[in-house]
């Protein structure tokens, strides 16, 4: 059987490389968890890819396949928190919604890992604008997204003025608890503090 050399010949199919770069989600999550543990133990300045990989039980290559540097890894993990967000309370009253928001936020801020990581990243943010932006996005968008919906619902119920200064209101909602937990780092909130804070904040918002 002869063939015409001028006729186009079928191109051989390219085989997909064996074990193509499929990133296992369980490995990715193990690395992300290790980042928080390493941040809490060593701080951003002293943390290393080697230490993260060791905590995650993987090789350094597994980390570098996902993130090209320590900075990009931390930025990704911190930014992901904003996406997760907080549950939006729906108790039917402004004070009740604020109380529930404060309870959830307080538990999150006082988690042993978060209580170490957030202050360290805030200090690093003063030197690194990329970390500053990621932290701003995480804290502002995550918290403010929920708080904005609480304020909107309260306005729809007639508890707040429709002409409310939203930026000022969000500062009033979020500021006190972050001051206590992150800046002052009070080891323990006084008994009944969250309920009093929710009541005082609701009254302050109604006065705006």
What pLDDT digit, counting tens, does each position of 2-60 carry? 444 444 444 444 444 444 457 788 999 999 889 888 888 888 888 899 999 999 999 99
How would you write the pLDDT of the chain (208 residues) with one tens digit per residue?
A: 444 444 444 444 444 444 445 778 899 999 988 988 888 888 888 889 999 999 999 999 999 999 988 888 887 877 666 555 567 889 999 999 999 999 988 887 777 666 777 777 778 888 888 888 877 776 666 667 788 899 999 999 999 998 999 999 999 998 898 888 778 877 788 899 999 999 999 999 999 8
Tokens representing residue 105 in the block: 């936020």
Structure confidence at residue 17 (pLDDT): 42
Question: For the stretch 59-91, what's the b/e string if a residue is b when 16 or more beta carbons lie within 10 angstroms of its beta carbon?
Answer: eeebbeeebeebeebbbebbeebbeeebeebee
Full-model pTM = 0.67
User: Closest Cα partner for 86 from 159, 148, 167?
Assistant: 148
Other C-beta atoms closer than 10 Å to the C-beta of 153 total 19
Structure confidence at residue 14 (pLDDT): 47
3-state secondary structure at position 188: coil
Place of tokens 């006082």: 110
Structure confidence at residue 18 (pLDDT): 44
């Amino acid at each position: 059987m002869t063939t015409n050399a001028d006729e186009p010949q079928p191109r051989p199919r390219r085989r997909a490389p064996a074990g193509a770069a499929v990133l296992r989600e369980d490995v990715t999550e193990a690395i992300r968890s290790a980042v928080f543990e390493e941040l809490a133990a060593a701080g951003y300045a002293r943390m290393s890819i080697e230490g993260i990989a060791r905590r995650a039980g993987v090789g350094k290559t597994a980390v570098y396949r996902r993130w090209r540097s320590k900075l990009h890894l931390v930025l990704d993990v911190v930014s992901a928190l904003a996406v997760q967000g907080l549950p939006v309370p729906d108790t039917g009253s402004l004070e009740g919604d604020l109380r529930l928001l404060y309870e959830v936020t307080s538990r999150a801020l006082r988690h042993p890992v978060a209580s170490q990581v957030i202050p360290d990243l805030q200090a690093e943010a003063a030197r690194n604008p990329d970390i500053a932006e990621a932290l701003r996005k995480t804290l502002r968008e995550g918290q403010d997204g929920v708080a904005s919906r609480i304020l909107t619902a309260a306005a729809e119920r007639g508890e707040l003025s429709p002409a409310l200064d939203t930026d000022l209101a969000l500062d009033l909602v979020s500021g006190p608890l972050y001051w206590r937990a992150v800046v002052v780092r009070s080891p323990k909130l006084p008994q009944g503090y969250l309920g009093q804070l929710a009541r005082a904040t609701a009254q302050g918002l109604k006065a705006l």
